[in-house]
Amino acid sequence: MKQHPKISSSILSANFAILGQEVADVTQAGADSIHIDVMDGHFVPNLTFGPQIIKAIRPYSSLPFDVHLMINNVDSYLEDFVAAGADRLIVHPEAEPHIHRVLQKIKKLGKKAGLALNPATSPQVIEYLLDEIDYLLIMSVNPGFGGQSFIYQQLEKIKVICSMVGERPIEIAVDGGVTLENAQKISEAGASTLIAGTAIFNNLGYETNIKRLRGEIA
């Protein structure tokens, strides 16, 4: 019997004016990790968090911090985000010409190495990287902004990637447009982690929203 998926709370949809408290609240509400989208305005068309923000909110939660680096020259910033409190560093293959080296460097820094695939990025990108990956992030919207609609063609991509991963201990996460209406389909396709922002922060019932996304309550 398939277990309920893990829920990672994306703080891109949180109230930035009280970000530390929001992180504490979703931690208390039962999230499994905190997902932090770092955007530089170049790799994706938006600006969000830097290492100093991550360092500032780190004391508010003991949960793993999954730092999704949607930035150019990612190799130059790995140490900064590790020092700020990242537990997993997630990078895009398009961000560096030698992504294998970047994944190895993340592991040498003592952190979990993650790879993110944009909606149009082929699953075959991971074929020769699987032994370097701890975490696979499948983007189900085009990255850059929260609140977008789920791209349903990604369900087939999730299935293909799960088949490629096989029995390897790689966490497979899906990010973008995750809602109560599609969470079950995403989980059934093989995702072990659902990343949600709007679906959690759309009202003050964070605990109820997280439980519903997991499928613990209707």
Token representation of residue 34: 């905190």
The residue from 40, 66, 75, 175 that is catalytic is 175
205 is in an annotated binding site: no
144 annotated binding-site participant: yes
Residue in 37, 40, 66, 134 annotated catalytic: 37
Q: How far is it, in rounded angstroms, from Cα 159 to Cα 193?
A: 14
Is 43 a known ligand-binding residue?
no
Say whether 110 counts as a known binding-site residue: no
Task: Judge whether 30 is annotated as a binding position.
Answer: no
On whether 4 is known to bind a ligand per the annotation, the reply is no
Residue 147 assigned as binding residue: yes
Separation of alpha carbons 53 and 60, rounded Å = 12
Contact call for residues 196 and 10 (beta carbons, < 8 A): yes
- Decide if 37 is catalytic: yes
Catalytic status, residue 87: no
User: Do 122 and 161 form a contact (C-beta atoms < 8 A)?
Assistant: no
Q: Is 197 annotated as a binding residue?
A: yes
Please give the sequence-ordered ranges of beta strands (E in DSSP) within the chain, or none if there are none.
6-10, 33-39, 65-70, 88-91, 112-117, 135-139, 171-175, 193-196
**Residues annotated as part of the active site:** 37, 175
Binding residues: 10, 35, 37, 68, 144-147, 175-177, 197-198
Binding residues for substrate: 10, 68, 144-147, 175-177, 197-198
Binding residues for a divalent metal cation: 35, 37, 68, 175
